[in-house]
Amino acid sequence: MQGKHWRRFAAILLLSPLGLLGLNDLHAALFVRRASLPDEVVRNLQVGDVVFTREPYYLLRKVADASGSWSNHVGIVIDTTGAEPLVAESKVPKSVITPLSRFVGRSEAGYVAVRRPVHALSIDEENLLAEAARARMGRWYDLGFNLHSSRQFCSKLVYESLRAATGEEVGEVSNFEALLKSNPDAPLAFWRIWYLGRIPWQRETVTPASQLVSAQLATIYDASQPQPREPGASVSNFFRETH
């Protein structure tokens, strides 16, 4: 791993006490209902469907805050032939293929949405998409969110897989200057720390937020309103329900 990425992992360690393991995330893990999809939606999923979630981790919450969206994570369906659909995703530390229920089940407060390419994919395009996504499995997560690096992050994986299959670009390519300055609530102090004092203003990226509103996709399911876990439910019951 290159020096810049080691330094960024060091920044994670500095931020993690109130981030990855902090009170907000612990509260979400223990006391907020996780998401699921109705059986009818699951049965009708197709290769190329894009699944949006909200994971309760400090870094990803800051990603959502920077783009003014509820969603901070995204994956793409690449196989619907097995017991349940499979989702290709890029997460720390590497890109992986995850069963749909596990992918969606990590989302906090019931947040989940599914969007489908407006132009139906042909069989050949479905095969190209699955091949493109699988070719990116095992790649290290790009903690710098650089669209042009050899590493991956979630929205980049979706962007590249759909482009390889259909030629269409799903999500808006934007540099950090435009992204952060367009949102008055963007946490600039956090990103200055994250980038060790120097935000790469001209670096290009693509966000889950821009894919969530992309005209190239149509929404087929949307549960983006947070829902608390039922009062009185025990922690043991919660873990039985979500694992």
- Residue 206, amino acid: V
Predicted confidence at residue 219, as pLDDT, reads: 97
Confidence of residue 60 (pLDDT cuts 50, 70, 90): confident
Count structural domains, the chain.
1
Residue 113 has pLDDT above 90, yes or no: yes
Yes or no: say if 220 and 115 are a contact pair by the CB < 8 Å rule.
yes
Residue 31: phi, psi to the nearest 5? -125, 5
Backbone φ/ψ region at 44: left (φ over 0), alpha (ψ -120 to 50), beta: alpha
What is the per-residue pLDDT for 185? Answer: 82
Alpha helices in the chain (DSSP H): 3-15, 23-31, 39-43, 58-67, 100-105, 123-135, 154-166, 176-181, 188-194, 208-212, 235-242
pLDDT tier at 97, thresholds 50, 70, 90: very high
**What is the pLDDT at residue 3?**
55
Query: What proportion of the chain, given as a percentage, has pLDDT over 90?
Result: 65
Instruction: Give 142-163 pLDDT, tens digit per residue.
Output: 999 999 999 999 999 999 999 9
Q: Which residue has the higher pLDDT, 38 or 13?
A: 38
- CATH code, domain carrying 161: 3.90.1720.10
Structural domain containing residue 126: 3-242
Select the highest-mean-pLDDT range: 1-5, 13-17, 147-151, 178-182.
Answer: 147-151
- pTM comes to 0.83
- pLDDT by residue (tens digit) across 187-231? 899 999 999 999 999 999 999 999 999 999 999 999 987 655 444
Question: At which residue do the structure tokens 């109705």 appear?
Answer: 38
User: What would the mean pLDDT of 26-40 be, rounded to a whole number?
Assistant: 71
For residue 208, whether the previous peptide bond is cis, meaning omega lies within 30 degrees of 0, is no
Per-residue tokens: 171: 């999500």
